[in-house]
A and B are shown apart, each in its own frame.
Chain A
Amino acid sequence: MIQKTARDFARKDLAPVAVETNESGRFPAEIYRKLGDLGFMGITLPEEYGGVHLGSFCLVLALEEIAAVCASTAVTMSVHNSLTNWVILTYGSEELRARYLPRLASAEILGAYAITESEAGSDVAAMRTSAVRKGDEYILNGTKIFISTGDKAGAIIVFARTDPKERTRGISAFVVEPGFKGFSIGKVEKKMGLKASTTVELVFEDCRVPAGNILATEGMGMRIALAGLDGGRIGIAAQSVGIAQAAFDEAMRFARERKQFSTRIIDFQGTRWKIADMATAIEAARLLIYRAAKLRDAGEPYTKEAAMAKLFASQTANRAVYDSLQIHGGVGYTSEFLVERLYRDARVTELYEGTSEIQRLVIARQALDEFERTVPD
């Protein structure tokens, strides 16, 4: 039923808006308000904070349906739910939770998550943005880049260095509002895809953050960042499968209509092999995602499974849009056909919330740990 609501909303309400916003680059604030009304912006939050108290499993089902229609909407929704909401719920003081979560759940405000800096991409611990305690405030200085929803968010999780001497243990996490003095939006990126979502630079110039807006305690930032990303990766994996499914459906639609050499191209064996590979990979990706989500909901460790799901699903998406476009032929290269947008949107799934290379590092590290713990020499 949750899936059906997400699907109906995506197809009826979101689809027409998605065509317009992906063309114009407009950020559809009204869509998030509607998603908020339907409960999709606080899926995993407890009811006392205006949420629905459902698990990640329901979140990924919904994300997949939304992503199949608009990947931009899905990434905004994923960051909001899996990163901002979850981090505030898990690491925020009761005061922070009460202040931000109900407004996040209703989508009165949107969430963002700011880790990346120009010199700190995959190497998160290299971040330089500083936070210095002064009385009952922290003073933040630095610049974050590539922040999804950064210019539209009302609550941004910002990671900054509170101790210059420590590397990973010197980082802390804060909830920053755009109204805080010293906060400003820098460059707005022009991206290859995801044109209906925004990606911006955030500039902190003596930005004053109340000391109470710290998450957990000083030095916990790196742990929070990585824990958040584990969940975020399941979300991006779901987004990837949504894109892949849409690419598959478009390929099917096209190949059943299109005739060459007096034959529907779906009846060529070459097409059928592509269809079979796509269908199999999509199904496998979905199962990896469901498993990671179920582990997370059961409170079990899921770092490895989340990375596997993200790696495999994002690769599946990129393979699927490639094959789907190939089945379309030349017309798939024009913006008349949805596959053109899917092709551009898919690319980033192998880059953000950890590149495919980083996912492999995570998986290998986990696998090695497991091996050393369980297999006797």
Chain B
Amino acid sequence: MKIIALLKRVPDTEAKILINPEGTGIKEDGIKFVINPYDEYAVEEALRLKEKTGGDGKVTVVCMGPEESTELIRTALAMGADDAVHVCDAALAKPDAFVSAAVLAKVAKDEGFDIIFCGKQAIDDDMAQVHSIMAEMLDVPQVNVAVAFEIAADRARATIRRRIEGGDERVETSLPAVISCEKGLNEPRYASLPGIMKAKKKEIRRKTLADLGFPGVPGEARSRITRWFPLPKSGGVKMVQADEPRDAAKELVRLLREEAKVI
């Protein structure tokens, strides 16, 4: 089986994000970047599917992002992916979801695939659009927010459990398909030391837009982020002071009702 796992470089979930003064992006200095955590589930699920379906399988990691993404791609290779395509082009510095989807869809088409795993969203901009647009462009079904995945014996269909409000639903799909992954789908493995050593010899194919046959940024961005704002500072904490607990409780109820208006 040809399995593709999409991977995006995002700021560490623990990083403290500050907006730059111009409002055009975040301050990147001192921030650690990681594999989008939902994409880690995608890589892991891709590896598990390959292990389950036997030796003829191949996992290709596809990443669109800046130069620095290489280290994260290597991590996915060290986890066990076979090779990678890295789309790196200065013209793609600020793509919208449509542009990203067009580029990734082209790579997927060129590579060929039976299944594409990806995160349900990237934790940086939380758009959660790329995989859906990409599936549409590739004209294949898509199942989102997978918490369980099982391939049919004939490898032409798969059963996915999706997490929905208050429960799970089971979806059957034909393949090829795009599956977006949710936390709980699996526990991503560590890059083992032998894996890290092997990854050094694995191929990362670098591609520009021109290499992919695009004369320019495909389709032009249809939406644009115009400005970034920091969150307003929270109003601070009000301590309720009273000699007796009874009075403190009374005052607290009053504040909750009249000021916070939550009861």
Contact = CB atoms under 8 A, between A and B. Distances in A.
Interface of A: 1-2, 4-5, 8-9, 37-40, 43, 47, 52-54, 58
B191 interface: yes
Given A1-B75, A1-B78, A52 B190 contact: no
A139 B196 CA distance: 44
* Interface-centre pick from B74, B78, B191 (highest chain A CB count, 10 A): B191
* Interface-centre pick from A1, A4, A39, A43 (highest chain B CB count, 10 A): A1
A4 B191 CA distance: 9
A1 B190 contact: no
Given A1-B78, A4-B75, 15 more contacts: A1-B191, A1-B196, A2-B193, A5-B190, A5-B191, A5-B193, A37-B192, A38-B190, A38-B193, A39-B192, A39-B195, A39-B196, A52-B193, A54-B193, A58-B193
A9 B74 CA distance: 18
A5 B192 contact: yes
A1 B75 CA distance: 7
Contacts of B75: 1, 4
B194 A39 contact: yes
A5 B188 CA distance: 12
A238 B120 CA distance: 40
A52 B78 contact: no
Contact of B197 (A8, A9, A37, A52): A52
B130 to A, nearest CB: 26
A43 B195 CA distance: 12
A37 B190 CA distance: 10
23 contacts: A1-B74, A1-B75, A1-B78, A2-B193, A2-B196, A4-B191, A5-B190, A5-B192, A5-B196, A8-B190, A37-B192, A38-B190, A38-B193, A39-B192, A39-B196, A43-B193, A47-B194, A52-B193, A52-B194, A52-B197, A53-B197, A54-B193, A54-B197
5 smallest CB-CB distances across A and B, nearest first, come from A39-B193, A52-B193, A38-B192, A5-B190, A39-B194
B132 to A, nearest CB: 31
Contacts of B192: 5, 37-39
B71 interface: yes
Contacts of B197: 52-54
Nearest to B79: A5
A43 B78 CA distance: 16
Contacts of B194: 39, 47, 52
Contacts of B191: 1, 4-5
A40 B78 CA distance: 15
B79 to A, nearest CB: 10
Contacts of B195: 39
A25 to B, nearest CB: 27
Contacts of A54: 193, 197
B208 to A, nearest CB: 26
A38 B192 CA distance: 4
Nearest to A40: B193
A286 B196 CA distance: 24
Interface in B193-223: 193-197
Contacts of B78: 1
* Interface-centre pick from B191, B193, B194, B196 (highest chain A CB count, 10 A): B193
Contacts of A38: 190, 192-193
Contacts of A1: 71, 74-75, 78, 191, 196
A2 B196 CA distance: 7
Nearest to A42: B193
B15 to A, nearest CB: 15
B193 A9 contact: no
B71 A9 contact: no
Nearest to A54: B193
Contacts of B193: 2, 5, 38-40, 43, 52, 54, 58
A2 B78 CA distance: 10
Interface in B155-209: 190-197
